[in-house]
Amino acid sequence: MNVVLRVPDADRAKPDPQSTLRENLRHEASQEPDPVHTGPVKKETQIIAIYGKGGIGKSFTLANLSYMMAQQGKKVLLIGCDPKSDTTSLLFGGKACPTIIETSTRKKLAGEQVEIGDVCFIRDGVFAMELGGPEVGRGCGGRGIIHGFETLEKLGFHDWGFDFVLLDFLGDVVCGGFGLPIARDMCQKVIVVGSNDLQSLYVANNVCSAVEYFRKLGGNVGVAGMVVNKDDGTGEAAAFAESVGIPVLASIPAHEDIRRKSANYEIIGKPGGQWGALFEELARNVAEAPPQRPTPLSQDGLLGLFSGESVGRDVVLTPATMEDMCGKAAVSKPSLEVIYDTV
């Protein structure tokens, strides 16, 4: 006679939530992205990745650029690839756009498939969507980008018939997920958005360095040019573009009317408007500018674009001593290391 002992549910060891979370994160991090799509091209589409420092005005530039392109008769898809999910906010008058990652998670829990209408929305001819990102402290933003693109491929990304696909990427982050379009030749060219300040040009220079690095590994992505935003006329951004060998596609002035309308989620890139000609020129230059191989600057070369007073080139680096670190006279202690004479 076989006797089966059953352990009451209350007495069973419950899994540690922290251990489960760590295992899930390890499993997610170990997964490699899908291979690059190699099927036949359905339509000649320009896929352009736009990079820049956080807060430099990429979303503002892209919302108005994509709107102008659509008014010129182009079929345009704008994809926000920033975990803040703010790329499409100006386009949709401040309204939050459901992200692919949150929608995919919700649908998966409900046992449903993500449909294109769940994540892609239209305004005046511009198609737009947000990839999104994980909650703070609960995952890798770069991995979220990879997951988002995998979902796009399942939705038929390579069969869509767009003239332009504009990708908005955060340039401050240098991990593999945010460098995906450059590393895997997912776009034909890159555009950097910068201003006349050291930090934004530092980010732009990093993007040029990434492009050059992958070109040496056999990649094909190039930098088409730079958009100077909030241009105050001091000229550092234009000097940077000339130094690395890329053109300035447009200079958007630091104008109060632009700042105010942008803060109120107003599109200013409309044909016939005050700033229409500026964005018409930008749209034309973005479409026609060829991808080029940049020559990134060294740190000293980047600092050389600015006056010494602005960046502290006259500061002398004074080495610290052990007395400085301890706040008192340091006592020299003999080493206990044993050294053997070799025969």
Residue type, 336: L
Alpha-carbon separation of residue 108 from 39, 85, 115, 164, 208 (angstroms): 28, 21, 12, 30, 38
Secondary structure in 3-state letters for 130-182: ECCCCCCCCCCHHHHHHHHHHHHHHCCHHHCCCCEEEEEEECCCCCCCCCHHH
Torsion angles phi and psi, residue 166, rounded to 5: -105, 125
- Distance separating alpha carbons of residues 141 and 166, to the nearest angstrom: 19
Q: Tokens standing for 61? A: 């530039």
Strand order in the sheet with 126-130: 121-123, 126-130, 76-80, 164-170, 46-52, 189-194, 222-231, 248-253
Q: Which residues are catalytic?
A: 53, 58, 84, 172
- Distance separating alpha carbons of residues 160 and 78, to the nearest angstrom: 13
Q: For tokens 């459901």, what's the residue?
A: 98
DSSP state of 194: E
Alpha-carbon separation of residue 86 from 92, 133, 143 (angstroms): 10, 11, 19
